[in-house]
């Protein structure tokens, strides 16, 4: 499991009988703020829930730093007895438990304001402390791995080690891929300089590039930053979309060599680590960490490759509905109906989401969601200096903060539902597992949120007879499968091929990385989307590529989430209870075992094929809604 290489990432309700009232906006909802001080406070994070002020953070930092040597007393002795092993493990977990709030708090200050000097300084200090802690604790897992199998068998029965059995099993499972304490300490010490690529990427993407300005559909100036790009490329005005797309990608293209250098450094480190740990490839190392059979990934790729006709058919359906002769990259995110679709203020969206959570998953889920809003775990609106996208992130038995960039449309509402699925997952796992067993594997992390989002779209469909709304909801479901499932597999293939180039000793340049992307674009999209001069730099705007083989986990989680949602659709009365049980498991069991508790067997190829089958069926339904002939 390599706990040292993991920073807690949230997923995550407790029920409140009466929700606190939301203050309505007197006029049209403002979606972007030049200053965070101008935002309604109730829709901003209360970062004081982690640390009241900088002095409290500094005091906690000093306390953790003073404890760095606590584990040294166990060096060379970890495997000497069950009692000593248990003590060493608990010391390790206590130290990480104390460190992670420092790390999360500092980075989240920067996420909402990349110009926060104090936040940037604290982020750097927390990263350095994290690297030092990794080095200080690097000997523990190797010493456990060196315990002979006969002795390990006895330790599995020892009373002192019962709370740590899953963690220990994972170490002994990976025995042949664990190096000596000396090597592990060197690797751990390399984590800080080894993170330079992602720091450079973030600095360039969020602060270094002066993003261009275009006119939006209202004739107002709009900065095509990462945070605003999604909104602009969904504009009902095709010229705005094209201008935004071209301007954003042109800015990236100007730095293509810098992006390639940072990505190349990241990939070379992945390849180096795989070799250090005696894996045949970086992909094999990623699979081993999750204890997922290679066949699952192979089935994923084979299934999508054999169903590219459905992907290209969907793109062609969009082209026909939009009335275009040619579909361009800036046409893939625009709503199919540019007028008449419903908009949502955040308070309106929250009311809908709460009704859905309560009806579908029950009071336990809904209560935690309300707690998140009441205690200000949700940061809603965009502001100058805030990074783009959405996420949920927290640490053990602390708030799981939701990060949003609210745009007032159904996509934003759906994103809220998705991210709250993560936060509820984190809270339920933390309240039912110990620190070392709470964090779910990435392979499972998206399942609950995907199922929630998928079910929510259908829940909304069941409650509307408006033909415009129905078309938009159907297209949302289709776009979700394309963007969150198929595209993530596309991304995995890009990542795998790029790593294979490095493993073969080939150069990783802007041209070689761009060529891979163009080839895959041809494979997946065929002639359904016109090629664009910037297709070969699009990879540079995908931050997930800086998380080692994250996207294949995401795609597989999506398939499992859809399978879980199918249980609800079938009327299975035990689906909700099994879903909650699965969330409460956290990382206390292996990913495939957790999914089985939810009622999903990921070794069954039919699970993945069913996603593509649903993709095809939804296209037929959408074509009927638009009264199109085959």
Catalytic annotation, residues: 419
Q: Shortest CA distance to 280 belongs to which of 550, 503, 452?
A: 503
Q: What is the DSSP letter of 590?
A: -
Locate 372 and state its tokens. Answer: 């998140």
Classify residue 382 by its DSSP letter. E
Give the containing element (helix H, strand E) for 402.
strand 400-403
539 within 8 A of 545, measured Cβ to Cβ: yes
Q: Which residues contact 518 (CB under 8 A, 6 or more apart)?
A: 531, 535, 536
Residue pair 360/345 in contact (Cβ under 8 Å)? The answer is no
Residues in the chain: 630
The CA distance from 467 to 189, in Å, is: 59
Query: What tokens appear for 18 in the block?
Result: 């009466």
Give the span between the Cα atoms of 168 and 145, in whole angstroms. 9
Query: Do residues 112 and 386 touch, judged by C-beta distance below 8 A?
Result: yes
For residue 223, list its beta bridge partners: 213
- Tell me which DSSP letter residue 77 carries: T
Are 560 and 602 a contacting pair, CB within 8 Å? yes
Instruction: With residue 392 as reference, give the H or E element that holds it.
Output: strand 391-394
What is the distance between the alpha carbons of residues 341 and 334, in angstroms, rounded to a whole number? 12
Using an 8 Å Cβ cutoff, are 545 and 491 in contact?
yes
User: What's the sign of the alpha-carbon dihedral 36, 117, 50, 136?
Assistant: positive
φ, ψ of residue 462 in degrees (nearest 5): -70, -20
């Amino acid at each position: 499991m390599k706990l040292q290489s993991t920073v807690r990432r949230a997923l995550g309700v407790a029920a409140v009988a009466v929700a606190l009232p939301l203050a309505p906006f007197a006029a049209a909802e403002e979606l972007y703020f030049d200053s965070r001080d101008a935002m309604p406070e109730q829709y901003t994070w209360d970062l004081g829930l982690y640390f009241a002020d900088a002095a409290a953070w500094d005091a906690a930092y000093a306390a953790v730093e003073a404890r760095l040597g606590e584990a040294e007393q166990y060096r060379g002795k970890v495997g000497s007895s069950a009692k000593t092993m248990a003590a060493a493990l608990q010391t390790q977990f206590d130290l990480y438990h104390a460190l992670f709030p420092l790390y999360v708090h500092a980075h989240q200050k920067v996420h909402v304001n990349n110009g926060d000097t104090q936040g940037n300084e604290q982020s750097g200090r927390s990263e350095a402390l994290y690297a030092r802690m990794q080095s200080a604790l690097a000997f523990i897992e190797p010493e456990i791995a060196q315990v002979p199998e006969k002795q390990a068998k006895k330790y599995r029965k020892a009373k002192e080690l019962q709370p740590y059995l899953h963690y220990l099993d994972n170490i002994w499972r990976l025995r042949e891929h664990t190096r000596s304490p000396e090597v592990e300490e060197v690797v751990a010490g390399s984590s800080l300089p080894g993170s330079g690529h992602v720091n450079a990427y973030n600095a360039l993407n969020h602060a270094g590039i002066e993003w261009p300005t275009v006119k939006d559909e209202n004739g107002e100036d709009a900065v095509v930053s990462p945070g605003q790009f999604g909104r602009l490329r969904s504009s009902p005005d095709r010229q705005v979309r094209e201008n935004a797309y071209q301007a954003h990608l042109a800015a990236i293209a100007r730095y293509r060599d810098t992006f390639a250098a940072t990505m190349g450094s990241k990939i070379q480190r992945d390849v180096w680590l795989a070799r250090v740990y005696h894996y045949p490839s970086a992909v094999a190392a990623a699979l081993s960490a999750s204890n997922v059979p290679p066949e699952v990934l192979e089935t994923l790729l084979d299934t999508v490759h054999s169903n590219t006709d459905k992907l290209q058919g969907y793109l062609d359906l969009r082209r026909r509905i939009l009335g275009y002769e040619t579909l361009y990259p800036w046409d893939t995110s625009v709503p199919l109906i540019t007028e008449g679709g419903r908009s949502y203020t955040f308070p309106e969206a929250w009311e809908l989401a709460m009704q859905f959570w309560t009806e579908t998953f029950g009071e336990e889920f809904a209560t935690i969601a309300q707690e998140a809003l009441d205690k200000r775990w949700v940061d809603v609106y965009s502001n100058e200096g805030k990074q783009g996208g959405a996420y949920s992130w927290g640490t053990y038995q602390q708030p799981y903060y939701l990060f949003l960039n609210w745009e007032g449309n159904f996509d934003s509402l759906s994103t809220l539902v998705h991210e709250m699925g993560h936060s509820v997952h984190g809270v339920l796992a933390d309240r039912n597992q110990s620190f070392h067993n709470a964090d779910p594997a990435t392979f499972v992390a998206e399942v609950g949120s995907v199922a929630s989002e998928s079910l929510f779209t259908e829940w909304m469909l069941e409650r509307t007879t408006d033909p415009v709304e129905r078309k938009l909801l159907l297209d949302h479901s289709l776009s979700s499968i394309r963007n969150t499932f198929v595209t993530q597999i596309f991304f995995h293939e890009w990542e795998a091929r790029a790593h294979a180039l490095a493993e073969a000793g080939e150069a990783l340049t802007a041209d070689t990385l761009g060529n891979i992307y163009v080839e895959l674009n041809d494979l997946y999209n065929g002639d359904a989307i016109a090629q664009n001069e910037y297709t070969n730099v699009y990879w540079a705007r995908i931050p997930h590529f800086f998380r080692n083989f994250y996207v294949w986990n995401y795609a597989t989680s999506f398939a499992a989430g859809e399978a879980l949602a199918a249980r609800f659709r079938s009327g299975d009365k035990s689906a909700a209870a099994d879903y909650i049980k699965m969330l409460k498991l956290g990382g206390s069991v292996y990913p495939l075992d957790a999914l089985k508790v939810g009622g999903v067997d990921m070794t069954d190829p039919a699970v993945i094929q069913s996603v593509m089958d649903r993709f095809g069926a939804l296209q037929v339904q959408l074509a009927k809604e638009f009264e199109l002939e085959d």
